């Protein structure tokens, strides 16, 4: 399959200027990228130091020798994996291009990459995709006692659980259906005022107890993830590119357009992640 000048809805393509049309939207639109610390590296591996145990402190008398101690250190080695998309357009369409229509292909590639990144981040995608949140061990969990969300107590529980391990919840992430259920919770019986916090200057933003609520279609129903941005990493290998090649389909006068980037996820403190589910 390929796009041609006769294809429906095609006004023109500019295959030589796709970088900003693909890479920036991927980082901007990926839900996981919005809740994690973004790191751009030019190395094959990215190493995150992890302090598993702190030094020991104590009280000492005047002039008493202070007992030395060492922290327990480890490191998390993150290896970016390749996510890519490939499409073709006709030579005529490439040559008769309109710069304003470059979003047709660039936007499509960006959306495809975002879909794969978030799917892997929130589900157990098959290798060689990097392991996502649902594969973590050592996380904390909270199960609500009702079949539906009646209030925001679950959020207070999640925030408290994170605080017990020194973390601060910076985002909640859930599915569209669960976000809708939460949006329908009212302040009191007979009231039409939603309990979710809202900002009149940002009518599309949602907050739970002051913490942003984001939505991803790749999260299981009746499930929320509470995360601390400082404990999550979205590592992007430098050199994310979109390339056009006219030689591979030389005999049919088509241009191959390939978008790719190398990225991975890092969870340096699984205990800071809280999974909330309904009973």
In a domain, 105, yes or no: yes
If you average pLDDT over each of 7-16, 44-53, 185-194, 229-238, which comes out highest? Answer: 229-238
Please give the Cα distance from 89 to 231 (Å, whole number).
Answer: 42
Cα Rg of the chain, angstroms? 24
Which tens digit of pLDDT belongs to each residue from 164-180?
A: 999 999 999 999 999 99
Please give the Cα distance from 256 to 89 (Å, whole number).
Answer: 7
Per-residue 3-state assignment (H helix, E strand, C coil) for 221-266: CCEEEEECHHHEEEEEEEEEEEEEECCCCHHHCEEEEEEEEEEEEE
What pLDDT was estimated at residue 23? 61
Average the pLDDT over 222-233 and give the result.
94
Does the pLDDT of residue 55 top 80, yes or no?
yes
In a domain, 10, yes or no: no
Which tens digit of pLDDT belongs to each residue from 107-143?
A: 778 888 889 999 999 998 888 999 999 899 999 999 9
Q: For residue 261, give the CATH number of its domain.
A: 3.30.2320.10
In a domain, 12, yes or no: no
What pLDDT was estimated at residue 50? 78
In a domain, 140, yes or no: yes
Does the pLDDT of residue 2 top 60, yes or no?
no
Q: Please give the structure tokens belonging to residue 166.
A: 């020194």
In a domain, 26, yes or no: yes
% residues pLDDT > 70 (the chain): 80
3 state SS of 213: strand
Between residues 16 and 67, the one the model is more confident about: 67
Domain containing 89 equals: 19-54+69-277
pLDDT-derived band at 74 (thresholds 50, 70, 90) equals: confident
- How many distinct structural domains can be found in the chain? 1
In a domain, 62, yes or no: no
What pLDDT was estimated at residue 10? 38
Are β-strands 232-245 and 37-41 bridged in parallel, bridged antiparallel, or unpaired?
parallel
Q: What is the pTM of this model?
A: 0.78
In a domain, 59, yes or no: no
In a domain, 261, yes or no: yes
């Amino acid at each position: 399959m390929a796009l041609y000048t006769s294809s429906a809805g095609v006004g023109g393509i500019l295959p030589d200027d796709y970088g900003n049309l693909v890479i920036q939207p991927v980082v901007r639109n990926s839900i996981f990228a919005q809740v994690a610390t973004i790191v751009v590296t030019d190395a094959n591996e990215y190493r995150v130091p992890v302090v598993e145990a702190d030094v020991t402190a104590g009280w000492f008398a005047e002039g008493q020798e202070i007992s030395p101690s060492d922290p327990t250190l480890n490191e998390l080695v993150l290896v970016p994996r390749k996510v890519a998309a490939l499409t073709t357009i006709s030579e005529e369409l490439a040559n008769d291009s309109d710069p304003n229509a470059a979003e047709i292909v660039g936007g499509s590639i960006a959306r495809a990459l975002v879909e794969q990144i978030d799917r892997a981040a929130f589900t157990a995608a098959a290798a060689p995709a990097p392991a996502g949140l649902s594969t973590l061990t050592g996380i904390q969990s909270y199960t609500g006692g009702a079949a539906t969300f009646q209030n925001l107590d679950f959020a207070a529980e999640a925030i408290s659980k994170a605080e017990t391990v020194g973390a601060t919840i910076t985002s909640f992430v859930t599915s569209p259906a669960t976000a809708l259920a939460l949006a329908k919770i009212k302040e009191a019986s007979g009231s039409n005022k939603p309990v979710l916090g809202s900002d009149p200057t940002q009518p599309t933003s949602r907050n739970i107890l002051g913490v942003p609520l984001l939505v991803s279609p790749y999260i299981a129903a009746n499930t929320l993830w509470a995360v601390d941005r400082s404990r999550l990493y979205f590592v992007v290998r430098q050199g994310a590119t979109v390339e056009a090649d006219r030689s591979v389909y030389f005999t049919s006068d088509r241009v191959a357009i390939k978008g790719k980037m190398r990225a991975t996820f890092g969870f340096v403190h699984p205990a800071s992640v809280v999974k909330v589910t309904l009973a």
